[in-house]
Structure formats: structure tokens, C-alpha cells
Amino acid sequence: MRIKSLDWLLNFETLFLFAAGILSLSSTASSLAWFQLLWGVIGLGIVILLANFDWRPFVTYRWFIFGIYTVAILLLLITYFAAVPVRGVRAWLSFGLFQFQTSELAKLSLILLYSYFFAKQHIGIAHLSTVGVSLIYFLIPAGLIMAQPDMGTALILFGIWFGYLLVSGLRWKHIFLAAALFAITLVFLWTSFLKPYQKERIIGLFNPERDPLGVNYSVIQAKIAVGSAGFWGKGFGQGTQSQLGFLPESQTDFIFAAFIEEWGAIGGIAITAAFLFLLFRIMKIGLNADSNFAKLLCLGVSMLWLLHFSLNVGSNLGLLPVIGVPFPFLSYGGSNLLINALLVGMIQSIVVHRRF
């Protein structure tokens, strides 16, 4: 066991965010805090095991990468047809007492696939056919996830695809073409795919006074929680919006606002700084990696978590629509936490097995 060889600054930042999440859950939902702590222990075991396992030879095999991608697609199909809807969304498969959100595996599989694909295609990336193939890899899981419906995760997958295009040396005319396709897709989604409540959330973003007891209720309560916190916050268990039930989803979508309400601006600055430093460490590991796949993997993980952070914090502050995206390591959720632990373990393996 190469415990000493791990990047402990990376571990510290993830553990700090996880501990902050446990602290917030202990204040608002103590039973969920124990469940999250259990997933955290399992996640820590995954990190240690993967860090000491050299997975790099496996990613040279096309069948391995596409096998994971295929499993993710099959699970999304099973979820759509067999899952029991939760609040109108078919996103979770039940295994006894455990529920797994299959779209989380789709994120992991797409990062692995794009890291493999762009590492192999870096010479011919300017070809339009290459861009087209990469787009298809995105569209298949994104379409299944939109059908659940889960617009937030579909946007995350799009951000991963577009992020890989931006850093792959693609010509600007192709980037503009991709942006134009995105704009056309947005129009199509608005007219043919988005549910009425999803449209209301987007409209509510540009009209904060619209339907304060409906579409804008959550955002208004989050703003009250953040705005009333002051610099030091109200203290553990003293947040009125979260403790009295005014702030919906204070354990998941709005945990950032719930945490700030009790721990103030200083608490918000602390977890934001910890998260940004986490991204910095991952990018630094990627720059020092000894293979294109490892570099692109670190890039993909950074993009994934940055998208989650931006969408979650943006919705908590009323800057972006509420689309149900968790804050990495902070929000409650076993599926998201375990997949993030897998990614941390793979990155730590890059550190441990890096050739000097």
C-alpha cells in the first residue's frame, strides 16, 4: 500500500469538502449525515484501492473503454424502462436498500471515452468527421438522460464534450460550428423537449419576481439564507431557512446556501477556496502526467467538477436556473460521491505510478 505516495493536498481538499457537507447534514438532517458518512468510508476505500492499482494498461484496450461506455448506456436504457419514477424522474435503479443514479456512471464513461478518443485522434482532430463521431458519443447518453427527464445532467455531458473540443486543438471554424449546433439544439429543446416546469425555471431566472411562491420560491429562500448569514453566520443548527424548512433540498441542490446561512461568508469562502484549490491540484497532476490519456482524464474530471460547482453555486445565488446539480463532495448523494471517489482514485493512481 503506497499511502505515503498519494497527493495528500488533493486528499485534504476532498476530505475538507466532505467534512463540511457532513457538518451541514448533521445540522439539517442527521439521519442523512450517517448515510453520507457510510458512503464516504466506502469512497475512501475505493480511493486507496484504485490509487494502488495501475489501471493504465487497461485503457490502451479499445474494448475496455467502450465496454464501460456500453454498460453505462445499457443501464440508462434499463433505468428509462424499469425505474420507478421519483418526483416524475426515472433516474435511479434500486438494489435492495441502495439506489444508484445511472447517469453518474454515464459521466464517468464519457470522460474515459473522450480521454481515449482524443488521445488517439489528436492528429486528425481538425477533421469534421472526428468532431461528428465525438458528438454522437455525447448524444446517445444525453438523449436517454433528457428522456428521464434530467436536463441538468444532460447539460453537464454537453459541457464535457465541448470542453474536450476546446482544448483539443480544434480549428475555430469547427468550434463556431459546434456552438451553432448547440444554439440550434437549445431552440429544438425549448420548442419540443423541455417540460413546462423547466421552461418556467429559465423564464424565472430573468424575472426574479415571477411566481415567488412557485418557480422562484427556492431561489428566493436561498438568497434569504445567504443574505441573512452575515460574515460569521448564524451558527450550527441556527439557520432559520434550513432548520424551519423554508429552504427546499437543503441537503442536495441548496446545501451551499444552507452551509453559508450557518457559517457565514467566511464559510462560503472557505469551501469555495478548497474547491478551486482541488481543481488546481488536479490540473497540476495532469500537466505532469506521462501520457496523453492521463492528461486528458485530469482535464475531464476538472471540467466535470467545475461544471457541477458553477451550476450549483449559480443556482444558489440566483444567477442560473435551478436544474438539480449537486456540489461535488458537499451535497448528499451516494451515487455521486462514489463516482467522484472513483475519479479521485484514478487520479491518485496517476500520481503513485507516474514515471520519473
Buried residues in 85-119 as b, exposed as e (16+ CB within 10 A) = eeeeebbbbeeeeebbbbbbbbbbbbbbbbbbbbb
Q: What is the domain extent for residue 93? A: 3-352
The Cα–Cα gap between 64 and 350 comes to 18
pLDDT: which is higher, 244 or 49:
49
> Regarding predicted confidence, which is higher, 83 or 156?
156
Angle, CA 168 vertex, CA 166 and CA 172 arms, to 5°: 50
φ, ψ for residue 124, nearest 5 deg? -100, 25
* Each residue's pLDDT tens digit, 74-104: 999 999 888 887 777 788 888 777 888 999 9
Tell me, yes or no, if the pTM score tops 0.85: yes
For residue 356, pLDDT over 50 is answered with no
pLDDT in tens, 2-26: 677 788 899 999 999 999 999 999 9
State pLDDT tens for residues 303-335. Answer: 999 999 999 999 898 888 778 899 999 999 999
- Residue written as cell 457541477? 308
Say what percent of the chain tops pLDDT 70: 87
Report the amino acid identity of residue 105: L
**pLDDT tier for residue 192 given thresholds of 50, 70 and 90:** low
Give CA angle at 24 (242, 325), nearest 5°. Answer: 80
> How many domains does the chain divide into?
1
CA angle 225, 229, 234 (to 5 degrees): 105
pLDDT given at position 181: 72
Query: Considering only 71-75, 164-168, 263-267, 287-291, which range has the smallest mean pLDDT?
Result: 164-168
Residue-level pLDDT at 206 = 57
182 pLDDT higher than 50? yes
